[in-house]
Structure 1
């Protein structure tokens, strides 16, 4: 069926997800994987967006180690946020005999020629955390529930403002609170899911006046952050503060920030404008900010009362599920999925596996991230991997 038929015992991959969640985390050398070894000449190409974000470095390490642990050869490439570079890298993977591709596309539609070439050679394709769009050639999508990520970010924002309690009940704070919204990169389909998830929670509070978006910018096209860039987020926050919050006429209370790199850009801008943690020397309290990915620098911010929350997406579990899906596809089997309705890429509904998420606040950093082995206490204290 495929260029190379690789048959595994039926039980070979059953422990992969558990293996990915046990032991070493972001800063460790333990990867996902386990079970029957693959033939040594089976090649898998892995294409990830960039090394600008800690999460992609962590993902790449976990995927590579997990695949190599079961015997695959792995060609891991980073596209440096450049679409032609990613296209060339995937072309090279195909030329060099890849038996399967794992792709996190910079632009969900930009790899169509490469996908067609792979499909014509019966090479399976796994869409990894970023959605491949307008193609019937992708076999499975392995990701986190990005709509729930956005909904959790919005819920955390409301908790930070006191509008909600952590148990979901109504809090004592009534507002009105001034907030601003930030979104991810428009060429990343996840940005739409995250933003829509956030607005599904916030819209009623905007409608009833509890929350006020003072800039008036409340559509994803208005609030998107190209490449999820920290610098671009800082620049936009600078502009928002100048346009809507200068002269002491209004106080910014919260910012819905879609991931940790955007949050750090927003926080840098706010710090430069005189906002800071309650116990700092800054004259204005830091607005409630959210995040995604639980990058260690932002976890330190949460621990230091600078950033209010982030969302933990355990890349160990995602990598383990990706290894399992790869083994299934190469064995000619249908990979495990838990969503067959949500992800229509314009050409087909892509069978998907959604890995669970977890909100991170100051009070659960230890239990969720340190005790699980994802980070060490020293890494959280330093804000960097060791």
Structure 2
């Protein structure tokens, strides 16, 4: 009996010891710098597959990591916060060595991030800054304030108030415009909005631009989850409530191509897009292929191109730096305060794209083919 008890205890201790060692592998105390890529796993959490942009991001990050030999756990949360929380929990439990997270709600993952920190798993916030947590190690994105400025400047150019070089245009106004913003739970929304409003402010102040609905606060113009359908409904309501006196919309500030397409549908249903009722100048973002075709066809005025291939490369470089116990390269260590800490960031450049820019910026660079632009789809 005694020998059997000792053997049982010894066996249990051995099992516990092995389990403890196993639990310190991925993301634990194991020195990842000494391991081969094939022994390491990167968890990649993307917000949704309803946007072609996020599908492309996930695919690009996964391909670039796998090309270097890493194992990749890529998950899409379909715009559902509990789903993303559960997926990130699972990545941590299953032993991710690094997490790359594009959050649906920038404040909803604090528990998961604490669990990651407890296991010494570095967290890279991808394009959308995760807020309210000490446990965000790095941020890779574009210069989001400059995106907003570029959108505001693009609207002014689309209206003819400014030229491409920023000089005074041939048009004088006044012009009726309406404003749309992104989702309030996305930290980028505030940067886009502030940048755009700073660009438009002189023209709003002197009456050249008039927001006929008087909806100018970000809370009034926000679009939950960046949904195209929500934007279409709001544009329809604006046309009914503020343009039932014969006035016409001349321009719409839109922060994202999906929102732009919803706005365009509402305007087309209201008779816009004819010689008598021209389509307003409409901005966008992400150079989604459906919107690139609309720009090429003269329906949407512009978009902001953010080369997500380069963003994916930066995310991969950052992940590798953490795995090799190095400090990732940052080019901004002051701007992105998540409410708890300033998160070091690497910001990539952006480009405004009008019809005359489509070939050079998007086709010649290999982002799309001419056939994809003509068809308005990638498959």
Same fold (TM over 0.5): yes
Aligned residue number for residue 292 of structure 1: 285
Aligned residue number for residue 161 of structure 2: 163
Structure 1 residues 110-135: Cα deviation after superposition (integer angstroms, max 9, x where no partner): 00000000001100000000111011
Mapped contact 2:333–2:345 kept (Cα < 8 A): yes
The one of 134, 137, 140 equivalent to 2:138 is 140
Report the CA distance between 1:172 and its aligned residue: 2.1
Gap change, CA 1:271 and 1:109, over 3 Å in 2: same
Aligned residue number for residue 218 of structure 1: 216
1:336 aligns with 2:336: no
Aligned residue number for residue 261 of structure 1: 258
Cα distance in 1 for residues equivalent to 2:175 and 2:296: 24
Aligned residue number for residue 44 of structure 1: 42
Mapped contact 1:38–1:70 kept (Cα < 8 A): no
Cα distance in 2 for residues equivalent to 1:232 and 1:276: 21
SS of residue matched to 1:7: helix
Structure 1 spans left out of the alignment, 5+ residues? 9-36
1:352 aligns with 2:316: no
Gap change, CA 1:277 and 1:341, over 3 Å in 2: farther
RMSD: 1.2
Structure of higher RCO (CA pairs closer than 8 Å, 6+ residues apart): 1
Aligned residue number for residue 30 of structure 2: 4
Mapped contact 1:182–1:255 kept (Cα < 8 A): yes
Structure 2 spans left out of the alignment, 5+ residues? 1-26
Structure 1 residues 263-282: Cα deviation after superposition (integer angstroms, max 9, x where no partner): 0000000000000165xxxx
SS of residue matched to 1:305: coil
Aligned residue number for residue 227 of structure 1: 225
| Count of matched residue pairs | 353
TM-score, with structure 2 as normaliser? 0.91
Report the CA distance between 1:174 and its aligned residue: 1.3
Aligned residue number for residue 72 of structure 2: 74
Report the CA distance between 1:318 and its aligned residue: 0.1
Cα distance in 2 for residues equivalent to 1:330 and 1:62: 20
Mapped contact 1:309–1:359 kept (Cα < 8 A): yes
Q: Which has the larger radius of gyration?
A: 2
More helix by share: 2
Cα distance in 2 for residues equivalent to 1:160 and 1:89: 42
Mapped contact 2:37–2:71 kept (Cα < 8 A): no
Mapped contact 1:180–1:255 kept (Cα < 8 A): yes
Mapped contact 1:183–1:257 kept (Cα < 8 A): yes
SS of residue matched to 1:297: helix
Aligned residue number for residue 181 of structure 1: 179
1:313 aligns with 2:306: yes
Report the CA distance between 1:168 and its aligned residue: 0.6
